[in-house]
Chains A and B, each alone.
Chain A
Amino acid sequence: MFRAVGSFPHDAGARALYEGTLGWIMSDAQYNLDRLNILVLDDNRNMRVLIKSILFALGVRKLHGAHDVKQAFRDIQYFHADIVITDWHMEPLNGLDFVHMVRSDENSPNPYVPIIMLTGHTELPRVCEARDAGVNEFLAKPISAKALYSRLASIIEHPRPFIRTKTYFGPCRRRRNLGAPRGMKERRADELEKPGNKSPRGSYA
């Protein structure tokens, strides 16, 4: 018997088959990381070897290593990086300088490229400093394969809008949607409560 499109099977066997098929379809997504260009910037050769080896094993094939900020900024002009992984501590320019250059320099080929910052500094003020420079993800050293994979997945799955203000340009720094401040009414509430002013949601906030 054929069912109408959109109807739901009611007998248990058909339902299990339906849900099983749906589950199969929904979990069929995979990553083909060989489609991505990833730039690795670290002044320490051993760290570059480690990061590139992890990425290669995860399936990334188009990898480019750079050992200083100037070289990396030159290289991204022709190596069209989809993701940048950079160390923080480098000289004379450091990872934060590189983030500023990528986000704001007029010669930057892609100010929106996702950037993962690697660092041995895990103190909160440092994390905030990296975030405020326009970093997408933060990865503390020592790194692991799982941690690097999870940052890549986060960047692919949860792209964040970019925000431009007078003092900041970079991915939205809000990581969670917390809703309205607890216990406070909507800021526009006073305005909405005026007679004749109706909330766009159809009720007064």
Chain B
Amino acid sequence: MSDRPDVQIIKPLNTLLKAKTGSGRVTPDLEAIERAEEAIKTIGDDFANWAQSDLDELDKALAAARTNPDRQEDYITQIFRRAMELKGQGGSFGYDLISQVGESLKISTETRSEANPRDVETIAAHVDAMRVVMVDDIKGDGGDVGRAIVDGLYKLTTGS
């Protein structure tokens, strides 16, 4: 029988202290954060191309899901993964609406292994909505247009 206790508490050496100079409380480095925000803006110029590529892949997966019902699960998985990527990236670059629509698409496809024609059209509506956001370069929550898009997709996904 092992002598090891049921619960061991281990305090590893804090090697990260090498990243700290001086003592006491660290005030947030606002200049560094500002520089990082600027860096995000610079990369953000590429986001339109990234999103375009993801939307093209979504269109392909959607077309395949329509024409190959036997392999729908694979295509829905592909759509789910693209939705996760768009959701994860949009908001970082100021396209909050892309993240919102991406989240809605993620929820619509997460636990689904097959899609009936109505489900396929719901997915298509999400893809179209994201295309509109990118073509019209709608940043933030999109105001009234954004609300209309989100409400419309909500009604489609919940069937209400």
Interface positions of A (Cβ within 8 A of B):
25-33, 35-36, 44, 46-47, 49-50, 53-54, 56-59, 82-83, 89, 112, 114, 118, 120, 141-146, 148-150, 153, 155-157, 159, 161-166, 172
| Shortest CB distance B7–A (Å) | 5
CA distance A164 to B6 in the complex (A): 8
Interface positions of B (Cβ within 8 A of A):
6-12, 14-29, 32-33, 35-40, 42-43, 46-47, 50, 81, 84-85, 87-92, 99, 102-103, 106
| Shortest CB distance B69–A (Å) | 23
CA distance A127 to B17 in the complex (A): 27
9 new A-B pairs (CB below 8 Å) besides A50-B89, A149-B29?
A: A29-B20, A31-B21, A46-B46, A46-B47, A47-B89, A53-B39, A120-B102, A145-B39, A161-B9
CA distance A179 to B108 in the complex (A): 42
CB atoms of B22 and A120 under 8 A apart:
no
CB atoms of B18 and A35 under 8 A apart:
yes
CB atoms of B19 and A31 under 8 A apart:
yes
* Nearest A residue (CB) for B53: A46
CA distance A163 to B6 in the complex (A): 10
- Complex interface: chain B residues within 8 A of A156 (CB): 16-17, 19-20
* Nearest A residue (CB) for B32: A58
Instruction: Tell me the dominant secondary structure on chain A's binding face.
Output: mixed
| Shortest CB distance B63–A (Å) | 22
Q: Which of B7, B10, B43 contacts A53 (CB 8 A)?
A: B43
CB atoms of B12 and A142 under 8 A apart:
no
CB atoms of A164 and B10 under 8 A apart:
yes
What are 29 A-B residue pairs whose CB atoms fall within 8 Å in the complex? A26-B23, A28-B24, A29-B20, A31-B20, A32-B20, A35-B18, A46-B50, A46-B85, A46-B89, A47-B85, A47-B88, A53-B40, A58-B29, A59-B29, A83-B16, A120-B87, A142-B89, A142-B90, A142-B92, A143-B88, A145-B39, A148-B36, A149-B36, A161-B10, A162-B11, A162-B12, A163-B8, A163-B10, A164-B10
